[in-house]
Structure 1
Amino acid sequence: MSELDYIGCKKRKRGEGVLKFKGFCDQGYPVEFNGSFQENVRALLEIGQMETGLCDPMPIWSFQLEVHRHPLLHVFLFVVEEPIELSLTRGCKHCQYIGWGDHLICNKKYHFLLPSKDTVSACLSYEGSSAGINVTASNSIASKSNLIDLQGHTMHGVFHSNGFGHLLCINGEETGSDLAGFQIMDFWDRLCTGLRAREVSLRDLSQKQGMDLRLLHSMAYGKPWFGQWGYKFGRGSFGVTEPMYRSAIEALQNTPLGLFAHHLGNETNEILTILSRYQMLSGHILVTLGDMFHFMLELKSKLPKESNTESSHPGMLVDTSCRWSAKRIEMAIRVIIEALQRAEFRWISRQEVRDAARAYIGDTGLLDFVLKSLGNHIVGKYLVRRCLNPVTKVLEYCLEDISHAFPRRDGYSRLISTPDSKLKPRYKITWAQLMKDLLRLYKLILKENNAMSSTGILASIPIASRIILDTKLFIKDYSEESTSILDKSVLHCSIVLTSNTDRGSTNKAMITPYEFFMLRNTTTFDELKLEVERKFRDLYWGMRNFVAESLANLDAKGSDLVFKLIKAGTKIVFEGKISGESADICCMMFESFESNALVVDCICGTKIDDGERMVSCDICEVRQHTRCVHVSNIEEIPTIFLCNSCEQDILHFPSLP
């Protein structure tokens, strides 16, 4: 049983001070991070509290972090070191999914966890109970499930010892956590930056009230929610490529709102009412879907979450500077509305409306100003619809009576502010109402297989939405943000593993990422070679018998001083081999080794395992996505499944007599 009191947050046994959550892993806090990723992790763990019982026989450290004092809130960070010998599988499926299958298997992984109260309670109760547990020599595997295999952590990230990592999960306030999602991501980002991680991947399945955030935020901001921290397209599922992903985002963002006035079905009034509501709240014209969703999400961040409290915010007030008085603006609005009423609710061009209004208002500048501001706004019981005619490319206007779908308004709404502040309207909306409207727009416009947009000019919307939803794997390159080492005695080294096929013939098998070495000015190449062997043996499972033989493209003697022939900061490559092992063992050193036996050849174009559910052909054993072969759930998978190719081959067999 661990002696860690998670609930009570009692003082640490060895007297370590409680660390600040907000600044944890900033440079210099709690330690200086001046080495490689593995060296920085070791430096951090030296000040951690060693724990027992939580993940035996794997070593585990804990850090008590103060989130805030009033009210007092502490959380614990656990770091578990997982040696390759205790891993259930040597290869990493997350590396395979993101495209790092050609990386060498590392000797260690480091799990960074912010456990929830539920996962800690489950872990402690598991440790305290032996019922149903078969205590055998493989006890290490059973105990491993205590912590790092539990689901529901507030945060769980894992790093390979070479600095490549994966964020496996974050669970914010909606799951009962004391931390919000953005606080957890800020913390994770500081960890990666401070420890000098190389690259980090994640699988984005985040949702809020049934809405996929990667679709919602791509629509509003052109990037997923994780894009706020620099995560970008990593790999698409179902054959989605980065150009397809970018095109899908642009197509959705640039869809004109005016198109919905012509092409929606029975829900036309409902969706136009929602759109017009936020047109009124906005201080500028919202033209596209991207504009609308961006405004709604920005507004959501400014409203309090109290569901029963009405609030107004200065950002919701229309505050357009203009040189006309309120009386003249109201007169112009009235004249334009009456001109549109005479059109008997049919679409007429902007020029026709303008010409009709000029009989009463001679100031064309005022008319142009009001016409621009009235588009897709509510005036009294009417919605002034405006859109670009897709054929003539001319702006058109039309009135729609929405008194049955929207609360009645007496007189004309003052949509434009005037120099007299008393005339400014104060529209009020609650956070709950905004979320309701946002969810409704999401379902009506963006949800796949939506009947309203399945045909016609809006048919591209469900296609683009599906492409964005099929893009779940994102990646961030932290090496671009790493502070450069200012020491002048640094050298970057990599190794190439070679195998001798014939005498004098060398076959290069692999190259590793560069590691940096801080050297003395008197270091020789023989000393550097020994240091390179030590470091790469310590990093990679397959390199434990690695022997460095020579420098690629550099003729140097072992006794030569390194910095006499090479400038500091240079990248060099050592060639070498694995002593005493067959060259064929090289293939077993890669993260994707255990997946190479699975052949993927789906009709969507996917050639490697992307983490989506697949089914294997019973003849050729080629794997395909269940979605691509129209198998929606496990129950529908037939007893014998044949891919299309094998099925066609069978059909061409000669029939028996």
Structure 2
Amino acid sequence: MTQLNLTGCKKRKRGERVFKLRTFCEPGYPVEFNGLFRQNIRALIELGTPETNLCSGMHSWSFQLELHQCPSVHIVLLVIEESIERSAYRNCNHCKYMGWGHHMICSKKFHFVVSSRETMPVIAAGISYEGSCRGSDQKAAKSNFVGLQGYLMHGVLHSNGFGHLLCVNGVEKGAELAGHEIMDLWDRICTALRARKVSINDVARKRGMDLRLLHGVAYGEPWFGRWGYRFSRGSYGVTEPMYRKAIEVIQSIPLCLLVHHFGCLNHEIPAIFTRYQALSGHSLVTLGHLFHFMIELKVHLPQENHMASDNSGILFDTACRWSPKRIEMATRVIVEFLRKAEFKWVSRQEVRDAARAYIGDTGLLDFVLKSLGNHIVGNYMVRRSLNPVTKVLEYCLEDISSTYLNQEGLSLNDPKGKACHKITRAQLMNDIAYLYRSILNEQRSVLTSGIFTSIPLATRIILDSKGLIKNYGGEVAPSDNVGVEGNLTFLCTALLKNKLDGEEEKIRTLPPYELIILPLDATIEELKKETERVFRETYWGLRSFIIESISGVNAKESDMIFRLVELCCCLVMEGRMVEEGIGIDDIYESGRDDCIVDCPCGAKEDDGERMISCDICEVWQHTRCVRIPNGEDIPHIFLCSRCEHDIVLLPSLP
């Protein structure tokens, strides 16, 4: 991320506090967040600098986060409070698509935004909707902020602690911050504030590769899995067992079969396999092993230097205190001694003592012995292992001269063969992208026999598994003792009962339990009032909620709680809304969702993918499942296969 140009948008205020980006929201920094989510979010924004001319007049605060000190580079984190009362769109489609459509509409949303050069001026140019904007202009100003693309980070947390990470854009979008650093920041924020659950629609890509597929093959989980995000909902009827099976199938494809299959069609793929098998310190058996090794290798490979599998087998670093020539000489001495040992296991001390007769620098020997284990040197693999009996490191050689040959039959000890096994970071990324396109993406026409027919299907299932959720555990069970010492604690939820047309209509689903904290001498009346306050502040639809009774508890208002209710129990508070004119369905995130989804793929709920409705039965189906290409317009008249079949069976008119 380059330094943001805030000229004309926001000038640095004198005395404005600057926070360290890489430690922001770590335990105790900038403060200790030891309350509930609703308390922690207020504690955070009190530390920010209030902004009055951003985001169409919504309450907002900025945080200066220092990325580098010399030269000074800062990024700006904006926290924007969106009130649902004044929001252009009350319902949250992200909740609906992630299976939280049964949640009540929250009274507030908190947006966490790290802007890019392109998006910061747009946010700053927002005109207060309390002043100039009216009607549709007001809605346009708000939706412009919410739907704006190109943020480096945009996350939303509802006032009940549930949220969504909407986008992360790292280096590939021109940022100086890497994507994993932005994710670290977001994860620390959610952890510190004690969020409950956060969802992600995983569409992350790098160099044209879908990371959920690439990392799924390499690690068995998506890229976001590094931060604890797991499969929650798949599109097109994909379930978690289907996802796990697809990962297992594609990871376990043997490389030997791929080499045999592509041998006469594509000579580059077997050459890539051989190249990285030679660099690996262990045998690469499956496609999952190969992708895992290649991605891990990228982390350790210098940006401009190379790793060679020829003489030393050691990663040369320009910052190393020994020259490559000296390292090569020490390596040759060690390998020659092991060769004379006739491929037997020799202790590290014996190897070191024998090499000291030729190499006087013990530091150099220790460095080479540490770096040399499980690397290829010439025609040999240097093996290193811990003896399970003596607990001593031991070394031996393994002759691999007849094992790894490149496509032209060149030995690894051949000068031409050595050149084929020098890998730069750029070459490594090109090889990963080539394998991705050839095996997982573009070349599916050649994967039409045997085990390979499962690759396109497994790939499709993994790509359709985009809905991820992390449980941050912010519900705060009473046993956590977070800010509750010396108090009574209860987990309470609300059961809403309103009478419509003389009949009692009960709430569809209970909202998540909220932790209620009261003094030891609190009464039943105080419990009701505190619960009313919490639910009124949290949910827009409960702003006039009144508790009439507690399910399973028969007591007077003045009775002491601890005599009647067991400590730390879960309570259902039954009540009604005083305000009239609000239907039960209007207070849920899914709204009045009367549409019926019955797709051939098995989907029974709206998953956010493009759909079309039958003009007769009005059942919704995915356009992909009824073979309407994505780039093609939806037809004016559409009949599902069931209705088409019924029409065909109708008797013809005379």
Name the TM-score class by shorter chain: 0.7 to 0.9
Letter in 2 for 1:497: L
CA-CA distance at 1:5 after TM superposition: 7.0
Cα separation, partners in 2 of 1:554 and 1:409, compared to 1, 3 Å: same
Partner of 2:254: 256
Q: What is the match of residue 493 of structure 1?
A: 492
Question: Which residue, out of 394, 401, 404, partners 1:378?
Answer: 404
Q: Look up the SS of the partner of 2:203 in the other structure.
A: coil
Alignment check: 8 A CA contact 2:545 2:577 kept: yes
Equivalence for 1:403: 408
What's the TM-score once normalised by structure 1's chain length?
Answer: 0.80
Correspondence 1:599 to 2:634: no
After TM superposition, give the deviation of residue 124 of structure 1 in Å.
3.9
Give the aligned length.
575
Comparing 615-624 and 40-49, the one that deviates more: 615-624
Aligned partners of 1:622 and 1:502: how far apart in 2?
30
1:165–1:410: structure 2 CA closer, same or farther, 3 Å change rule?
Answer: same
The one of 173, 196, 214 equivalent to 1:175 is 173
Indicate how the Cα distance of structure 1 residues 507 and 85 shifts in structure 2: closer, same or farther if over 3 A, else same. closer
Structure-2 separation of matches of 1:552 and 1:322: 82
Alignment of 1:407-446 (within 5 A): 410=414, 427-446=421-440
1:378 aligned counterpart, secondary structure: coil
2:513 and 2:146 map into 1 onto residues whose CA distance is 29
Instruction: Please give the alpha-carbon distance, in whole angstroms, between the structure 2 residues aligned to 1:8 and 1:322.
Output: 69
Of 632, 641, 646, which residue of structure 1 is paired with 2:643? 646
Distance 1:139 1:630, change over 3 A: closer
CA deviation digits over 1:413-466, x for unaligned, max 9?
Answer: 89xxxxxxxxxx995310011111111111121116612223222111111111
Instruction: Give the corresponding residue for 1:633.
Output: 630
Note if contact 2:437-2:443 (Cα within 8 Å) is conserved in structure 1: no
**Aligned residue for 1:300?**
298
Distance 1:137 1:452, change over 3 A: closer
Per the TM alignment, residue 26 of structure 1 is displaced from its structure 2 partner at its CA by 2.2
* Unaligned ranges ≥5, structure 2: 317-327, 344-396
- Say which is worse superposed, 459-468 or 45-54, in terms of deviation: 45-54
* Structure 1, 24-33 or 92-101: larger mean CA deviation: 24-33
Q: Confirm or deny: 8 A CA contact 2:252 2:287 kept in the other structure.
A: yes
CA–CA distance in structure 2, aligned partners of residues 565 and 481 of structure 1: 24
Write the mapping of 1:605-616 to structure 2, written as runs, cut at 5 A.
Answer: 605-616=602-613
Query: Contact 2:496/2:507 (CA < 8 Å) preserved in 1?
Result: yes
Distance in 1 between the 2:297 and 2:9 partners?
A: 38
Structure 2 partner of 1:458: 452
Residues 279-304 of structure 1: CA deviation (Å, up to 9, x unaligned): 00001111111111110000011113
User: SS at 1:511's partner residue?
Assistant: coil
Counterparts of 1:520-539 in structure 2, within 5 Å, are 520-539=519-538
1:138-287 correspondence to structure 2 within 5 Å: 138-145=136-143, 147-264=145-262, 266-287=264-285
Which position in structure 2 is the counterpart of 1:310?
306
**Structure 1 residues 203 and 517, CA gap change in structure 2 (3 angstroms):** same
Q: 3-state DSSP class of the match of 1:535?
A: helix
Q: How does 1:9-158 map to 2 (within 5 A)?
A: 12-13=12-13, 15-124=15-124, 135-145=133-143, 147-158=145-156
**What is the CA distance between 1:412 and its match in structure 2?**
12
Q: Deviations over 1:276-331 (max 9, x none)?
A: 1000000111111111111000001111333xx434574799999999626967xx
Shift of 1:12: 4.3
- Letter of the structure 2 residue corresponding to residue 635 of structure 1: E
The aligned amino acid for 2:292 is: H
- Measure the CA separation in 2 of the matches of 1:615 and 1:225: 32
CA distance in 2: counterparts of 1:494 and 1:314, whole angstroms: 61
Task: Check 1:77–1:451 CA distance in 2 against 1; reply closer, same or farther (3 A cut).
Answer: same
What displacement does 1:621 show? 2.4
- Say whether 1:557 aligns with 2:556: yes
Deviations 1:79-115 (A, max 9, x none): 1111112222221110111100100111111111001
Q: Is the 8 A contact 1:498 1:509 kept in 2?
A: no
Distance verdict in 2 for CA 1:135–1:588, change over 3 Å: closer
- 2:339 corresponding residue in structure 1: 325
Q: Shift in Å at residue 117 of structure 1?
A: 1.2
Q: Say if 1:448 and 1:465, in contact at 8 Å, map to a contact too.
A: no
CA contact (8 A) 1:496 1:509 kept: no
**Shift of the alpha carbon at 1:408?**
8.9
Instruction: Give the deviation of 1:65 after TM superposition.
Output: 1.0
Aligned residue identity for 1:310: H
Q: 1:578 to 1:410 in 2, by over 3 A?
A: same
**RMSD of Structure 2 on Structure 1 (CA):** 3.5
1: distance between equivalents of 2:170 and 2:50?
A: 27
> Out of 575, 582, 585, which is 1:587 matched to?
585
- Say which SS state the counterpart of residue 300 (structure 1) adopts: helix
Classify 1:538/1:240 alpha carbon distance in 2 versus 1 (closer, same or farther; 3 Å).
same
Kindly indicate whether residue 632 of structure 2 is the aligned counterpart of residue 618 of structure 1: no
Distance 2:602 2:336 in 1: 56
Q: Give the CA deviation at 1:33.
A: 1.7
- The answer to whether the Cα contact below 8 Å between 1:37 and 1:197 also exists between their aligned partners in 2 is yes
- Paired with 2:508 and 2:94, the residues of 1 have a C-alpha distance of 23
Contact 1:59 1:81 in 2 (8 A): yes
Instruction: Judge conservation of contact 1:498–1:510 (CA < 8 Å) in 2.
Output: no
* SS in structure 1 at match of 2:41: helix
CA deviation profile, 1:147-192 (whole Å, cap 9, x unmatched)? 3332100000011110100000010011001211000000000111
Q: Tell me, what secondary structure is at the counterpart of 1:152? A: coil
Cα-to-partner distance string for 1:489-513 (whole Å, 9 max, x where unaligned)? 2322212223468999885643121
User: Which amino acid in the other structure matches residue 477 of structure 1?
Assistant: N
Distance in 2 (alpha carbons) for counterparts of 1:191 and 1:466? 33
- Counterpart Cα distance in 1 of 2:114 and 2:184: 13
Residue 468 of structure 2 is aligned to residue 474 of structure 1: yes
2: CA distance, partners of 1:253 / 1:15: 55
Q: Distance in 2 between matches of 1:531 and 1:58?
A: 28
Query: Which secondary structure state, in structure 2, belongs to the residue aligned with residue 111 of structure 1?
Result: strand
- SS of residue matched to 1:630: coil
The residue matched to 2:492 in structure 1 has which SS? strand
Q: In structure 2, what residue type is equivalent to 1:431?
A: R
- Superposed displacement of residue 267, structure 1: 3.2
Contact 2:57–2:127, Cα closer than 8 Å, also in 1 = no
Change (3 A) 1:137 1:506: closer
| Partners of 1:65 and 1:77 within 8 A in 2 | yes
TM-score (structure 2 length as normaliser): 0.80
Cα–Cα, structure 1 residues 655 and 480, in superposed 2: closer, same or farther, change >3 Å? same
Q: CA shift at 1:41, angstroms?
A: 1.1
- Contact 1:101/1:590 (<8 A) preserved: yes
